[in-house]
């Protein structure tokens, strides 16, 4: 219980970082929240000036000077404390009790508001905003581009029939066909991202999809030198989902895994029950989940790049589209599932997809 006569405890219980300066500009109060944010102990700050305690916060000193000049509250948003915590800061005058009416300033109170959570929410909305914007542009453009592309492809194929085999010109025709195919795939991906469509839910045999995809991918020329290891739980139930879309997700992830391996390496594809992963819908019973894991021992993703991989058009590949993972994220969200990436640079990457099974439980369980 906080006793009103214990002001330090009250300040320590506050979420905001609070600091008070006396008339000489020396720190008299430094609360627990600020200790945590800055990684400084109260004892090491008391009696010191702002410049002593915050030498790296260049934005703070002009703000304090402005406060001293005007004597009114001043606020600055979107600054960074200890180089990592986003904060806003308000500096307000501390009035002497007896002199409150006459307005003698006896010090200043600094209130730091931690913006980390707000930033996270903003980023989330930014991402989904960008997705819907791309959707608009895509549906407008894609159809317009698709028709002439089909014509170009057809014409190149016709030409190829007229040209003798083994010549350079026939190579050119092949390049035209291959490149139009690539553009077509890009447009398809854009269109899929753009359409906010519903998924067609049916019971899906996840192991079977994974099996077929591995068979297909292991035959592709890019998968030369790559070993696929299947670790499936045969007792997995059917999962409610859109088979075609889930196929697209797993194919994207397996292709990314293959593309992350330079020459030789391994891709593990696992299916299992997610024993540790249980969600409870409001008013509903517990949901069991299955987990699909696609892991590779390829290049890995640099730490500072990891948060960007689900953003549309982020790609590190010369011929990449940067739409594979945003598409996966969208499809898994439509399934009310989750997709997570864990990556260690130079070691490899693990993607985990959790999908709920419970809607079909009993009904479709093998």
Ligand X SMILES: Nc1ncnc2c1ncn2[C@@H]1O[C@H](COP(=O)(O)OP(=O)(O)O)[C@@H](O)[C@H]1O
Binding site for ligand X (CB under 6 A): 252, 256-257, 260, 296, 298-301, 309, 314-317, 320-325, 349
Based on CB atoms, which residue is closest to Mg ion, 79 or 184?
184
CB of 215 to ligand X, least distance (A): 20
- Secondary structure in 3-state letters for 56-85: CCCCHHHHHHHHHHHCCCEEEEEEEECCCE
Residue 364 binding partner per list ligand X, Mg ion, none, with a CB distance cut-off of 5 to 8 Å that depends on partner kind: none
User: Phi first, then psi: what are they for 224, rounded to 5°?
Assistant: -65, 135
349 contributes a contact to Mg ion by CB under 5 A: no
| Shortest Å, Cβ 345 to ligand X | 9
Cβ–Cβ under 8 Å, residues 312 and 327: no
Asked whether the CA dihedral 154, 156, 158, 160 is positive or negative, the reply is negative
At 113, list the tokens: 């508001």
Is 366 within 8 Å of 238 (Cβ atoms)? yes
Dist. CA 92–CA 360, nearest whole Å: 59
Q: Interface mask (CB under 5 A) for Mg ion, residues 245-264, using x and -? A: -----------x--------
Smallest distance, Å, CB 305 to ligand X? 7
Q: Which is nearer to ligand X, 297 or 357 (CB)?
A: 297
Distance CA 129, CA 136 (A): 11
| 36 versus 347: smaller Cβ distance to ligand X | 347
**Please, which residues bridge with residue 81 across strands?**
85
Nearer to ligand X, 314 or 364 (CB): 314
Closer CB to ligand X, 50 or 260, in the complex: 260
Residue among 277 and 314 whose Cβ is closer to ligand X: 314
CB of 156 to Mg ion, least distance (A): 26
- For residue 143, the minimal CB distance to ligand X (Å) is 22
Binding partner of residue 349 among Mg ion, ligand X, none, CB under 5 to 8 Å per kind? ligand X
Q: Smallest distance from the beta carbon of 79 to Mg ion, in angstroms?
A: 37
Nearest-5° Cα angle at 319, 313 to 324: 45
Contact residues for 243 (Cβ-Cβ < 8 A; gap 6+): 202, 204, 209
């Amino acid at each position: 219980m906080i006793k009103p006569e214990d002001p330090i405890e009250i300040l320590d219980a506050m979420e905001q970082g609070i600091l008070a300066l006396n008339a000489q500009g020396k720190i008299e109060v430094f609360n627990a929240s600020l200790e945590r944010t800055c990684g400084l102990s109260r004892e090491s700050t008391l009696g010191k000036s702002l410049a002593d305690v915050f030498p790296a916060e260049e934005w703070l000193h002009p703000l304090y000077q402005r406060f001293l000049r005007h004597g009114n509250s001043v606020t600055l948003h979107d600054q960074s404390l200890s180089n990592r915590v986003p904060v806003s800061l308000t500096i307000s005058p501390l009035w002497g009790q007896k002199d409150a009416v006459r307005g003698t300033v006896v010090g200043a109170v600094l209130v730091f508001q931690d913006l980390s959570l707000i930033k996270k929410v903003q980023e989330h909305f930014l991402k989904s905003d960008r997705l819907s914007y791309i959707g608009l542009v895509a549906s407008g453009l894609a159809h317009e581009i698709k028709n002439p592309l089909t014509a170009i492809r057809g014409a190149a194929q016709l030409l190829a029939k007229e040209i003798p085999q083994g010549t350079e010109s026939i190579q050119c025709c092949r390049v035209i066909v291959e490149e139009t195919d690539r553009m077509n795939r890009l447009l398809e991906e854009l269109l899929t991202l753009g359409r906010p469509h519903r998924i067609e839910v049916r019971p899906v045999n996840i192991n079977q999809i994974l099996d077929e995809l591995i068979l297909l991918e292991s035959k592709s020329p890019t998968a030369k030198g790559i070993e696929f290891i299947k670790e499936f739980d045969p007792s997995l139930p059917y999962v409610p989902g859109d088979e075609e879309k889930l196929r697209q997700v797993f194919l994207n992830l397996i292709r990314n895994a293959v593309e992350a391996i330079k020459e030789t390496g391994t891709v593990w594809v696992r299916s299992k029950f997610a024993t540790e992963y249980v969600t409870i819908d409001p008013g509903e019973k517990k949901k069991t989940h299955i987990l699909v894991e696609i892991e590779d021992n390829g290049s890995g993703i640099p730490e500072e790049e990891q948060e960007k991989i689900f953003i549309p058009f982020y790609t590190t590949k010369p011929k990449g589209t940067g739409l594979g993972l945003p598409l996966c994220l969208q499809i898994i969200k439509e399934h009310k599932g989750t997709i997570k990436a864990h990556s260690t640079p130079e070691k490899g990457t693990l993607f985990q997809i959790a999908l709920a099974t419970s809607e079909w439980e009993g009904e479709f369980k093998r």
